Chains A and B, each alone.
Chain A
């Protein structure tokens, strides 16, 4: 791999690292999600400094060019990340549904209690007036 390419790849992976750490530090990204991104940066770094590994993988999967190996795995990675988000979204949608149901029921119950109380309160008032 030409030196310039290598420097570029190393730079990119370092930037990814810094951005992620910074996001976690500012609590904008939960540790849970940061792991997957840190791993991505790490993998990029490894491939950048260890070009033979990329060549080995390329011949292993039968690709003709090292770049197609990168693109292929990049795509697979993005699909997996999306799938992961879909799973997360499903879980969150379910939790949100349960919360919304709970809120609806609790609100209605509270209002009902208030109505009963008001009725009772008024009743007592009337009784007091009568007496």
Chain B
């Protein structure tokens, strides 16, 4: 069971990494607008998009 001494801090460090990633994405403004990006993603598949011509 002594593996717990490594696994538990490791789990918390992993949570910390995920949290840091989230904080960085918030600071870069990725959560400022939650309405438009989901729509923008749809348009890129548009076959008539002139960029693909």
Do A and B come together as binding partners?
Answer: no
Chain A residues within CB distance 8 Å of chain B: none
